[in-house]
Structure 1
Amino acid sequence: MDLKSARPMLNILQTRIGIVFSIFVPAVFLLIWMTGYNHATDRIDQLRVGLVGSEAAGAEDRIANVMASMPFQVIPQAELDAAMDDMNEGKMDMVIALPAGLAEQAQSGSGARLTYYVNDRSSEVVKAVMEGMAAQLTTALNGVIVPEAKPLPIQGEVVKTNPVSNFATSMLPMILGFIPYIASMTANIQFNISSLRLKREYSKWDIFLSRQLILAGIAIVVPLLMSAATKLFLVVEASFWQLWGFEMLVFAASLTVTQFAFAYFGNAAPLFNVLLIPVQLMTAGNIISTSMLSPFYRDLGSFLPVPNAVDGAMRLVYGGGTIFGSAIGLAMITVAALGLTILRIALSERGKAALPLKAAA
């Protein structure tokens, strides 16, 4: 076997880029995820629990002491409906409903039931933590209200809202929220090569406007196909028009952000776009609640396409809450990325083509 071609191959730019990617990708995933998820399970105190009915339950001081001993933030709520709305909007991780006369029912032996509401579209880590905390809380309340009673008169029931029964459906928010970014990233790599090949023959603004026209077509047609396939094969809460409209915003944000990288970083843009992948996956909130991440990463997802896209997609697929905040976030990302790209092009010189025009054939 002759390996004489190894040295010439290493002299080719694309080979060197491939070697850089083989080192960069695992290194960046390891660095970002290990720093972001580091001691995440120790940050249970960042989780928020709504408490409804504490004033009518009786034994208020003892209940307050038990709640204060729990490793999460307890937020009193006046009405169950308002608390449930807050949980659907992501402001609460669990809602606890105490029945009126809880202490009296427990002491009389007639029994009492606590209801714990957990959003099934929350991350698996948060659901597991909240269900474990529900069992501990029920035991603790029995211990302070009816310490000698056997069997335990106060029982707990965990109710999951927005239930997910189909595994394919459970994967859909990530498909609708994350895959557009990957598609946009790979598409813009090829569009950047095409732009370089046309640079000798056309002005930078002709090339830019033509590219935007193509990107706009992608942002309309591809979401149309994805939304149609989603409605054809799976049952989701949102209508076809809602899916299509939201996915157009997802593609618009993803396309403009990945395009922005080429405007500012040139040939290093793929590295920048890949760098954003682990950050966006981590801050999307479907693996673990963003409130449990390292402080640096908690709010970072608000400025990136995928976390906004996944959040909105979860609401469209499972129902509960509104997509207004996510949609506004995607629109602002699109405007900002496009505006910065235009600014960069306006300040750049025409330059010479890096690739010959005839290579496009």
Structure 2
Amino acid sequence: MFSALKALLRKPPTIIGISVALAFQLIFSLVWMTAYDGMNERTDKLTVAIVNEDGEAGKAIGEQLAGKLPFHLENMSAEEAKDGLTKRDVQMVVTIPATFSEQLQTAGGKPELSFTINESNPATIKSIMQSAANSIGSALNQNVTLQGTEAVLQQLKLPEQQAHKVAESLSGRVAIKTELLNPVDGMNNQMVPMMLVLASFVGSMIMAMNVQQGFGMLGAAFSKWQKFGARIILNAATAVVVSLVGSSMVMALGGQAAHGMLELWMFQALFLVSFMFLAQMFIMLVGPAGMFLNMFMMSIQLVTSGAMAPRQMLNSFYGFLGEILPASYAVDGLMNLQFGGPAVGRQAAMLALITAICLLVCLVITALRRSKPALQAASVPEPEPEAA
């Protein structure tokens, strides 16, 4: 047994397998621990829009919220806030209706504060903003309602101390209304963008290694440009077929598709072909060692894509990486197509640009690489005619 183990450990595939397992631990630990470090202290990168329809009274409430919330608050019109929320530039909208202060000062009135959250976001955004909405409602009920009711009672000539006691008994009048934009149907759908991105890139990594080995087996039977053309056709055709299987499985298992199955399929094919050329670029550049670079790419893209945590809360270094890697645009587009949101023209254009850059790098690598001329069939001399 030990002799077999000793012989096995001498084989290159065994050494490579152990090295890959070790590399996964090192790479993921390094990337994830540095990327998520200090994220909770960067909640000020999240934006909450205040839509004030109640004039000066609403302005005072907005100022009170600004002093208590850890987010970046901006005053916006209703249209600006909705547009920002749809594009994920704004994480929550707080609307102070025109009748808020009037209802607050009316006996038996029920002032209402409206919160709008876009569920087409990482799950952490919904959790953070719903918690914030509850905190805001609680704070307003303890402060705004108490102060407003006390002022009204004093105007009715009640003694200050008695007015304060009555106001405390009436606190809790502010109603909190939470509206969800682009609702997500269950946790299974919430995880689809991350699942499709992860499955697509891991598949592209493994495909890159095997395709490169396949081209190596062809030897000098074909020129380097014939192989390069075959690579392009193979990637495009594989992306179309594989994405059809992936999107069909999602839909068959109850997945959402606000923009329809066809757009989901075509968009997945686009980011899948982008992943393929990115993964193959590193393999073509440094050979089998490119697998380790692809591990880095997978780990970094899972962190920076915005599928698990909002990109706004990442540090500037990882935020920059998210802007230049395809997974960020894949997740944005998938959320729009699945749950609802604007058209994915910008995301598709960025994925096409990244694909073109990777393809150009692959073309340069191919041009600089020497290759043996394609083998030609040996000509067989024709027999000479026999003399008569």
- Fold match (TM-score > 0.5): yes
SS state of the match for residue 157, structure 1? Answer: strand
State the match for 2:84 in structure 1.
86
State the match for 2:6 in structure 1.
7
Instruction: Tell whether the 8 Å contact from 2:223 to 2:372 is kept in structure 1 after alignment.
Output: no
1:145 deviation in Å? 5.8
Q: Does 1:302 align with 2:323?
A: yes
With 252-261 and 59-68 compared, the bigger mean Cα shift is at 59-68
1:204 deviation in Å? 1.5
State the match for 2:244 in structure 1.
224
Distance 1:324 1:74 in 2: 29
Q: Does 1:129 align with 2:128?
A: yes
Equivalent AA in structure 2 for residue 92 of structure 1: V
* TM-score, scaled relative to structure 2: 0.84
Distance 1:349 1:89 in 2: 48
State the match for 1:359 in structure 2.
none
Equivalent AA in structure 2 for residue 95 of structure 1: V
Point out where structure 1 has 5 or more consecutive residues left out of the alignment.
353-361
Q: Does 1:273 align with 2:294?
A: yes
Instruction: Tell whether the 8 Å contact from 1:215 to 1:255 is kept in structure 2 after alignment.
Output: yes
Alignment of 1:104-119 (within 5 A): 104-109=102-107, 110-119=109-118
SS state of the match for residue 242, structure 2? Answer: helix
Instruction: Tell whether the 8 Å contact from 2:194 to 2:302 is kept in structure 1 after alignment.
Output: no
Instruction: Tell whether the 8 Å contact from 1:57 to 1:103 is kept in structure 2 after alignment.
Output: no
Equivalent AA in structure 1 for residue 100 of structure 2: L
Instruction: Tell whether the 8 Å contact from 1:118 to 1:161 is kept in structure 2 after alignment.
Output: yes
Instruction: Tell whether the 8 Å contact from 1:178 to 1:310 is kept in structure 2 after alignment.
Output: no
> Which of 165, 178, 182 is the matching residue for 1:162?
182
Q: Deviations over 1:245-285 (max 9, x none)?
A: 21121111011101111121211011111111121111121
Instruction: Tell whether the 8 Å contact from 2:205 to 2:279 is kept in structure 1 after alignment.
Output: yes
State the match for 1:190 in structure 2.
210
Distance 1:55 1:199 in 2: 76
State the match for 1:357 in structure 2.
none
* TM-score, scaled relative to structure 1: 0.90
Distance 2:188 2:251 in 1: 13
Structure number with greater CO (CA < 8 Å, separation at least 6) is 1
Q: Which has the larger radius of gyration?
A: 2
Alignment of 1:243-282 (within 5 A): 243-282=264-303
With 264-273 and 232-241 compared, the bigger mean Cα shift is at 232-241
1:144 deviation in Å? 4.2
Equivalent AA in structure 2 for residue 113 of structure 1: E
1:351 deviation in Å? 7.2
SS state of the match for residue 32, structure 2? Answer: helix
Point out where structure 2 has 5 or more consecutive residues left out of the alignment.
151-166, 374-388
1:57 deviation in Å? 6.3
Equivalent AA in structure 1 for residue 258 of structure 2: E
Distance 2:323 2:59 in 1: 39
Equivalent AA in structure 1 for residue 322 of structure 2: G
Q: Deviations over 1:70-90 (max 9, x none)?
A: 2111111112x4322211211
Q: Deviations over 1:138-166 (max 9, x none)?
A: 23334146435322222222222211223
State the match for 1:207 in structure 2.
227
SS state of the match for residue 52, structure 1? Answer: strand
Instruction: Tell whether the 8 Å contact from 1:113 to 1:154 is kept in structure 2 after alignment.
Output: yes
Q: Does 1:236 align with 2:272?
A: no
CA spacing shift, 1:343–1:63, aligned 2, 3 Å: same
With 68-77 and 229-238 compared, the bigger mean Cα shift is at 229-238
Instruction: Tell whether the 8 Å contact from 2:115 to 2:178 is kept in structure 1 after alignment.
Output: yes
Q: Deviations over 1:320-344 (max 9, x none)?
A: 2221222112111100100111111
Instruction: Tell whether the 8 Å contact from 2:52 to 2:58 is kept in structure 1 after alignment.
Output: no
State the match for 2:172 in structure 1.
152
Equivalent AA in structure 1 for residue 239 of structure 2: A
Distance 1:245 1:190 in 2: 25
Equivalent AA in structure 1 for residue 274 of structure 2: A
> Which of 193, 197, 210 is the matching residue for 1:173?
193
1:60 deviation in Å? 2.1
Alignment of 1:30-45 (within 5 A): 30-45=29-44
1:130 deviation in Å? 1.2
Percent identity (aligned): 27
With 60-69 and 111-120 compared, the bigger mean Cα shift is at 60-69
With 277-286 and 169-178 compared, the bigger mean Cα shift is at 169-178
With 329-338 and 178-187 compared, the bigger mean Cα shift is at 178-187
Instruction: Tell whether the 8 Å contact from 1:58 to 1:101 is kept in structure 2 after alignment.
Output: no
Distance 2:372 2:195 in 1: 39
Q: Deviations over 1:22-44 (max 9, x none)?
A: 11101111111111111211211
